[in-house]
Structure 1
């Protein structure tokens, strides 16, 4: 059963402006080490890479119904890749606690994430699917 759906559309130029204005302070506050490493290896699509991940964080916060409050922080939501290459979310802190609270007894939640970008837009969708154990 689906326990949450979230989507977000992010302007890549807005993220580029934040990178230009706040630099490392913005990056350190919002993104995980894994996300930073991926984006910094992509000099021609750096802002787009960050923007997709920013959108994924927003989409997750909508899927769990809190936004960025109730202990859910951006840095607690990290985009990583499965061995297949498919993107997924790695959750810690308040983000993980919120997802755990939404998980029905006797179920495990699978996080489905898709991201795309086409300048000047980046988009992400998150579906939280509870499957019986």
Structure 2
């Protein structure tokens, strides 16, 4: 049974501007330690990576029905990837962990990052 669906779109340029102004602070706020290990060394890929994670986390929060705020923090959601490159979601807050399967898809164009999430209740 479908528990929730979420979608989010982010302008990559917006994230790029934030990274130029305050990269370290923004990364510490948004990304978990494991996500930071995946952070690209190549400067040209960084904004795209962060925009995808940002959109993904927003989409998860929307699918859960909470949004990002007092109940759900950025670092409560971790987006990793399988060896194939497929993104996967892990919830780090025990209050949110249920008998769910979280499906996520992240896509990019030159200008936008988009994420779609479907949460399936088992």
8 Å contact from structure 1 (residues 16, 47) kept in 2: yes
2:83 and 2:90 map into 1 onto residues whose CA distance is: 14
8 Å contact from structure 1 (residues 64, 99) kept in 2: no
2:20 and 2:113 map into 1 onto residues whose CA distance is: 18
Structure 2 runs not aligned, ≥5 long? none
Q: Does 1:120 align with 2:111?
A: yes
Structure 1 runs not aligned, ≥5 long? 101-107
- Tell me the equivalent position of 1:10: 10
Residue correspondences, number: 122
Spell out the pairing of 1:57-68 with structure 2 (5 A cutoff). 57-68=57-68
Larger radius of gyration: 1
Q: Does 1:111 align with 2:99?
A: no
Question: SS at the partner of 1:62?
Answer: helix
Structure 1 residue ranges (4+ consecutive) displaced by more than 4 angstroms after TM superposition: none
**TM-score with structure 1 length normalisation?**
0.84
RMSD value, Cα: 1.5
Question: SS at the partner of 2:39?
Answer: helix
- Tell me the equivalent position of 2:120: 129
